[in-house]
Amino acid sequence: MLRKILLITIVLSAFNTTLASKGFPIQGEMVARVKFWEKVYTQITTKEAFIHDADNVSIIYRKVKIYKNRKKQRRVSNAEKKRIARIIRSIAKKRYKNLNKKEKALVKIIGKRSTKTLKRMARRIRYQYGLKDRYYAGLIRSYAYIDFIKKTFKKSRLPNELQYLPHVESSFNYRASSKVGAAGIWQFMRSTAKQYKLKVGYVVDERRDPLKATRAAARFLRDNYRSLKSWPLALTAYNQGVGNVRRAVRKVGSKNINTIVEKYNGRNFGFASKNFYATFMATVNISKNPSRYFPKFKKPRRFRFSELKLRKSYTVNQLVKTLNISERVIKKYNPSIRRSAFRSRLYIPRGFVLHIPQVGRKTLAAYKKKLKGVEDTYASAKYDKFHIISRNENLYEIARNYRVSLRTLIDYNSIANPSLIYAGMKIRIPSKKRISKRPKLKKIQKEATLRPVATGRLNTSPKELIVSLESYNLDTIRLSKDFYSIRIEVQETLGHIAEWAGTSMKRIRKDNKLRSRGLRLNQRVILQLSPKELITFKKLRNEYHLSIQEDFFASYNITGDRKYKVKRGETLNQILQRTSLPLWLVRMYQDKKSRTMRIISGKSIKLPEIKPKSV
């Protein structure tokens, strides 16, 4: 008998060591959470879901199929949750006596519970969509750069387990963008990217560069660990921020991740945050031995590439023609080049390291020689830059600011009706450079033809929604010579304003008598800008807001909209957090009078319905 007990103990301890490793404990109720997420990642696809208890995730009521029609899905899921809740309340009322067939079946799942617990369980029924297909696609993608990630983390003396974090963050989608503006496999926000020296521009976004972003992620994780002295807490801080995790530690009086997950009920510490560590550990367990969960899995070929540093600026079109490499391949090997560079004749900056399919030294040298011999094309000699039109801005004002004639501006951009320009529209600004040989008129018109950044028009059907700045107040109001007034817009910070204006935050705070670094929406700020600085400020500000929208629409489809009745005491932030919708998108759907987003209890607002695009 003693031998049997010892044998069972050895087997159980061996099982636990496969689940956990040094620095990444899985104890108590965390074991059940990790097992739940293993099921989510390996047993059900995105076309299926578990109906489960939100607190005790080991209680799974049933597996269901997901309908493509989102309205039908919401109606069916709400009805199913209410049905299960009724059965649970009936069990509580009967106190487990004289139960019918359905109630007995549910008792087998939930076991014996107190009446108080049953009533709580009836209120916390949740749907969890499957991730099997999404994880597997990410697993295959991960092998493109996993060796580099592993090597970088080893060099930084970070635990091996951390290399699997992008499975949780992005499913190793190198072009991933979240609803709130995070990007790349490590899902860096713009503010964090800037802190870790990643450049986020309109043409190149280094958050999507797997190499540079991985180095930044290594520093970020190491900094979190230095602050919190615990890997579970450092990982939770990656999702929540160090400040929020420290607050949780103070509230519960413990650094134990299990204690924090079970006892902390912070305002921003919801289901996703409570399960972040468990989700991560589930992906670690699966990724260490994928064949155990996916018998047909075969390790992909190693992703190899060569690097080509650009000695001057080139458009994507020039690179395609000169190197004889397709646009699709350039896009695949260089996720940091934003979509805007593929849609418009924007220049990839000098010094950019271009990744191409692996070639030998001789071929690489030949490519460099070819690029060196590329002469300036008519387009690059003829126009200096793009201008993004702001709200209330007209062509006359634009022509005056750039010191070109209105007629030249209209003709060069083939603008048939100047009254139909819109905020967010891109137009080319002719250069003053002279060229000896002019191409044919047809070529000029073809190159100058305007293309919207997406299809359709604002405030029409969901499929026709375009990237636009119509709902933004980006006006720069002239107060006197070189002094302008602006209103702070969505997702703008003091750091952004200072960067775009080419000045310091300290100077702006002093000029505006600001006591804090934080800025509020619609706050008035006065800036001193020379004519050139004004052009740069408007350009960078417009590009910032356009890029947020372009990234969003590249990752999500708008499937429709619905009316939402504001509840008593409900704030706009609570609505946005609950629906996971960005403010700029919600504001697009309101009429002009409602775009201030001052919500009133009992009144209805229009909310868009979104769906992630398949990767």
Q: What is the pLDDT of residues 363-410, one digit of tens each?
A: 999 999 999 888 764 344 444 567 888 777 778 778 877 888 777 787
- With beta carbons less than 8 A apart as the criterion, state whether 322 and 374 touch: yes
Would you call 21 helix, strand, or coil by DSSP?
Answer: strand
pLDDT tens digits, 308-343: 999 988 999 999 999 999 999 999 999 999 988 898
Element (H, E) at 154: helix 146-155
pLDDT tens, residue by residue, 150-191: 999 999 999 999 999 999 999 999 988 888 889 999 999 988
Do the beta carbons of residue 611 and residue 559 sit within 8 Å? yes
Residue intervals in the chain for CATH 3.10.350.10 = 380-449, 559-612
For 522, half-sphere exposure in the C-beta direction (CA atoms, 13 angstrom radius) is 4
* Residue 482 DSSP code: T
What residue has token string 């713009």? 190
- Fold assignment, 559-612: Membrane-bound Lytic Murein Transglycosylase D; Chain A (3.10.350)
- Say if strands 353-357 and 383-388 run parallel, antiparallel, or are unpaired: unpaired
Mean pLDDT over residues 70-80, rounded?
Answer: 90
Whether pTM > 0.85 for this model: the answer is: no
Rounded to an integer, what is the distance from CA 549 to the centroid of its chain?
Answer: 11
CATH code: domain 380-449 is 3.10.350.10
Q: What would the CATH number be for the domain defined by 133-293?
A: 1.10.530.10
| Cα–Cα dist 428/419, whole Å | 17
pLDDT for res 16: 43
Closest CA relative to residue 329, chosen from 351, 310, 350, 303 = 303
pLDDT band for position 134 (cuts 50, 70, 90): very high
pLDDT averaged over the chain?
85
Listed residue (19, 280, 274) closest to 167, CA to CA: 280
Q: What crossing angle do the helices spanning 70-94 and 101-110 adopt, rounded to 10°?
A: 90
For 314, list phi and psi in degrees, rounded to 5: -140, 150
Sign of the Cα torsion 416, 419, 425, 427 reads positive
337: β partners: 204
Ranges of CATH 1.10.530.10 domains, the chain = 133-293
User: pLDDT band for position 63 (50/70/90)?
Assistant: very high
pLDDT band at 615 (very low <50, low <70, confident <90, very high): low
